[in-house]
Structure 1
């Protein structure tokens, strides 16, 4: 797991994902990432979890940047994007819930001593929604 911190944008998958959104110039990749998380039946792997969590956190930050930890790249991206599309907050809530409760990412955090810290950080986005 190419991760260096607890926040949603502190991993390689999220960095790649931000680049995809920048290239698209729209929320389409974010919506697709959240839909993939929600619609995956069975095992949800870490890369999809991190992408979905980054998308959901980006939506939360678009609503309330002061409550959500975002990278400088994510903040710059928010400045160039229009407001998130309708129902994106609903998708974001479902995505965060799925990742927090039933995902490989959650299992990986559970292997170490930082599971509760990661959950606390991730729930900041949920509160902002």
Structure 2
């Protein structure tokens, strides 16, 4: 790999794949390559090149849902805009694949051998953007998220709107004495300080996706019962 950077588009493999993306099937193909069953749990380690492609594909899905990365190449952004909104199947594939890259991939191992803080932060930021609700053309006016002016334990900057992650730590010298403390933390800041294999994944519940998964499971169960 020539170029080597923490961002989604900061390596040669990613940029080669960017040039190859011409249709939705190209995005879906990157996700399917990690697991023949697609929606099933990904248990095998994903190689580094495929991991880079999965990250780019996930960036495309995030952009299609209205949460594009500012670093996405302009030409790719134009192409992705023409793909429309992603299906729930594609959205589920994106979430499952990003989760697998973050926890069991060769790329994760490679970053663990160096200073992984920037990569951990970049992956957490992608996870947070991908997990945001799908933007609609016309949205009802919503109340502004509650601001949290409290400082993050890591960067000492205000937590921001709607940010309420907390860390609770217990330090024990022995079985009797212990000290406990806690405070506010940005998830990106916390993950940047962790070994990449131990990053905390906080995927929000998506009611639309959950309903679709339940309906699919019911249909699969009915099909099995009819087969019996």
Does the aligned pair in 1 maintain the 2:13–2:53 contact within 8 Å?
A: yes
Q: When the two structures are aligned, how many residues end up with a matched partner?
A: 125
Q: How far apart are 1:41 and its partner, in Å?
A: 4.8
Q: How far apart are 1:38 and its partner, in Å?
A: 4.1
In structure 1, C-alpha distance between the alignment counterparts of 2:108 and 2:90, rounded to whole Å: 22
Q: How does 1:1-129 map to 2 (within 5 A)?
A: 1-22=1-22, 26-39=23-36, 41-65=43-67, 69-113=71-115, 115-129=116-130
Task: Identify the range of structure 1 (119-128 vs 75-84) with the bigger mean alpha-carbon deviation.
Answer: 75-84
Task: Identify the range of structure 1 (10-19 vs 50-59) with the bigger mean alpha-carbon deviation.
Answer: 10-19
Work out which of the two has the higher radius of gyration on C-alpha atoms and give 1 or 2: 2
In structure 1, C-alpha distance between the alignment counterparts of 2:35 and 2:71, rounded to whole Å: 23
- More relative contact order, 1 or 2 (CA 8 Å, 6+ apart): 1
Q: Which has the higher helix share?
A: 1
Closer, same or farther: CA 107–52 of 1 in aligned 2, 3 Å? same
Q: Which has the higher strand share?
A: 2
In the TM superposition, what whole-angstrom CA distance separates every residue of 1:52-89 from its partner, at most 9, and x where no partner exists? Answer: 11101211122133566423333232233332233211
Closer, same or farther: CA 38–119 of 1 in aligned 2, 3 Å? farther
Give the unaligned 5+ runs of structure 2: 37-41, 131-228
Which aligned segments of 4 or more residues in structure 1 are displaced greater than 6 angstroms?
Answer: none
Q: How far apart are 1:100 and its partner, in Å?
A: 0.8
Aligned to 1:48, the other structure's residue is in SS state helix
Closer, same or farther: CA 121–54 of 1 in aligned 2, 3 Å? same
In the TM superposition, what whole-angstrom CA distance separates every residue of 1:15-65 from its partner, at most 9, and x where no partner exists? Answer: 12122212xxx2101111012224565332101111111101211122133
Closer, same or farther: CA 42–121 of 1 in aligned 2, 3 Å? same
Closer, same or farther: CA 5–74 of 1 in aligned 2, 3 Å? farther
TM-score when normalising by structure 2: 0.49
TM-score when normalising by structure 1: 0.82
Note the aligned Cα RMSD (angstroms): 2.1
